[in-house]
Amino acid sequence: MKRIFWMLLAAVAWTGCGDDNGTDEPAAVASLSLSTGTLLFEADGEVSGESAGRVTVASSGEWRLAGRQLWCEPSAVEGVDGDEVNFTVQPNESLESRSVTFTFMCGSREERLTVTQLGGSVLDLEGEGTLELGPEGGDVRVKMWSSSQTSCRFEEEVDWMHPAVTAASRSELQPSFLYFTVDPNTTGRAREARLILSNAEGDERTAVITQHKNLVLELIGESTFAVPVKGQEIGFQLRSNVELAVESDEWIVLLSDPDHTGDLVEQTLNFRVEPTADAFRNGTIRITSPEDESLLVEVFVNQGKKPQGVHFPDAAFRQILIDNGYVTLISGDECQITEKGQNATTLPSLYRKGIGSLQGIEAFKNLADLSADGIGFNNITELDLSGNPNFMKLFYTSYGKKKSYLTNNPLEKLILGDAPITDGYVYFDSTFYDPTYKVFSQSLTVSGTNVQTIELDTPFASSYFKVQWLDVTGCPNITTIMLHSYYLKTLYVTQEQKDAIDGGSIAIKDSNYPTSTLQIIVR
């Protein structure tokens, strides 16, 4: 019992002891600070700003780090005073910025660090920015994808591409276009433009636009050479950027092959024209290119004394005559009549040949008819046979019915002169419409000293027959006019012819007359 008493007394005595002023010693307070509260990174993961992607920790003791994102990694999650923490981020493939907040803790103290990464910037071009254009030029567009407003400029000055519409800014990543108008390339050389595109984030891309060269094959100088019968060498210059193929008559010999580099060059081609015993001959040098069949240069060689030629301006008619041996070409549209042509009484088939003119037909003095199947389905508006003194046949008979050699041409003028046409008879059968060219005749004039009868025989109320008037003032010996056309309303005659009509010596047989409104007018 005594022992318990003394123990209690000692405890009371100990609790009564203390310092002089009777106050307790305070506990130590923790400290924590960061060298920066923010870190900024570019979309590709590179550091932006002066932070170098790290933060220095000042603390009174050990610290630890909380907060984590898969795209942002700290180099340490705990440490002591003076430690550096480096942050690395993965590339941001999104167009939006992103951020994460980390918390540093030391005792009861906390400091926050915000790591921000900028959104991605996109500037892409279709086809890796390569465009190829034909030499003809035209409209072209550059397709791109950009995350912001985009501008463009040429790396070097370009005068053959002209901006039409520029790209607009986009709130979302969508295709947009730059439009240009490109001039035709007439330089003979390929040309290139480098277009630099820049967006608001500073990204740049280069589009390379290449325009192919236009193919050139041109003759420099004259296209016709006059050479004596003893022969001589000739030469002419070409401007070209294509492979050349040379053809010529066997007596016109190429002395050296042409050069071909693909570049635009001028070169001289030399030929030797062999001697001849003929008084005259002509030949052609044809230069073409396997790269483009439309390229052609023709040079004409006339050796000896050139004869008087005849011009055949219609290319289709002229070629038919050449192919059938009726003429030989001198140069251009001038031709020499061959012996076959001089003796010809008829022509090769001219049916559906795309002929617009038979000018030059007067050179065939023995011609008696146009051809076995006529000149139908061409675009001939005027036919002059006044230079053919032996011409006779304008029609034929089939199964007891007359047929015109002139059928289906939009003929407006027929000139016969003194041609001795068979029976003095001029017959027209649906002659005034060309279904191929959709051309109608509106009028018809016939002249000839031997014309005695004119007959117009067209289907009643035919929509193809548009002739409104007939002029026979150039037919002084006409005796009969037969009109089987509802639409022909006017007949032009001389005063002498009018008197003969009134006197009955010129007969008018109109299937619609006198009930029709045919007017007979003196010219």
**Tokens at residue 172, please?**
């979302």
Four-CA torsion 379, 385, 387, 391, nearest 10 degrees? 130
Q: Please determine, for residue 371, whether its predicted confidence score (pLDDT) is greater than 70.
A: yes
Domains of the chain, with CATH numbers? 33-117 (2.60.40.10), 123-211 (2.60.40.10), 216-305 (2.60.40.10), 307-522 (3.80.10)
Q: Please determine, for residue 170, whether its predicted confidence score (pLDDT) is greater than 50.
A: no
pLDDT tens digits for range 350-362 = 999 999 999 999 9
Distance (Å, rounded) from C-alpha 405 to C-alpha 427?
9
pLDDT band at 168 (very low <50, low <70, confident <90, very high): very low
Mean pLDDT of all residues in 28-50:
86
pTM comes to 0.53
Mean pLDDT of all residues in 465-490:
90
Distance (Å, rounded) from C-alpha 84 to C-alpha 99?
20
Q: Who has greater pLDDT, 372 or 483?
A: 483
pLDDT of residue 18: 46
Mean pLDDT of all residues in 29-45:
90
Q: Please determine, for residue 432, whether its predicted confidence score (pLDDT) is greater than 90.
A: no
Distance (Å, rounded) from C-alpha 166 to C-alpha 144?
11
pLDDT tens digits for range 68-83 = 888 999 999 999 999 9
The DSSP secondary structure of 307-333, one letter per residue, reads PPPEE---HHHHHHHHHTTSEEEEETT
Percent of the chain whose predicted confidence (pLDDT) is above 90: 59
Q: Which residues, 6 or more positions from 286, have their beta carbon under 8 angstroms from its beta carbon?
A: 246, 247, 248, 296, 297, 298
Q: Who has greater pLDDT, 166 or 198?
A: 198
* Bridge partners of residue 177, in order along the sequence: 143
Q: What 3-state class would DSSP assign to 82?
A: coil
pLDDT of residue 489: 87
pLDDT of residue 401: 76
Is residue 170 within 8 A of residue 123, CB to CB? The reply is no
CA distances 285 to 250, 268, 301, 326, Å, are 10, 14, 8, 21
Mean pLDDT of all residues in 393-410:
81
pLDDT of residue 155: 92
pLDDT of residue 348: 95
pLDDT of residue 213: 92
φ/ψ of 5, rounded to 5, equals -60, -50
Q: Please determine, for residue 460, whether its predicted confidence score (pLDDT) is greater than 80.
A: no
Mean pLDDT of all residues in 303-324:
94
pLDDT of residue 144: 84
Is residue 471 within 8 A of residue 494, CB to CB? The reply is no
Mean pLDDT of all residues in 231-260:
95
pLDDT tens digits for range 93-118 = 887 889 999 999 999 999 999 999 88
Is residue 287 within 8 A of residue 246, CB to CB? The reply is yes
Q: Please determine, for residue 10, whether its predicted confidence score (pLDDT) is greater than 80.
A: no
pLDDT tens digits for range 149-158 = 888 899 999 9
Distance (Å, rounded) from C-alpha 305 to C-alpha 37?
104
Mean pLDDT of all residues in 13-29:
53
Distance (Å, rounded) from C-alpha 501 to C-alpha 136?
65
pLDDT tens digits for range 276-305 = 998 888 899 999 999 999 999 999 999 998
Radius of gyration of the chain (CA): 50
Is residue 225 within 8 A of residue 299, CB to CB? The reply is yes
* Bridge partners of residue 453, in order along the sequence: 425, 480
Q: Please determine, for residue 427, whether its predicted confidence score (pLDDT) is greater than 80.
A: yes
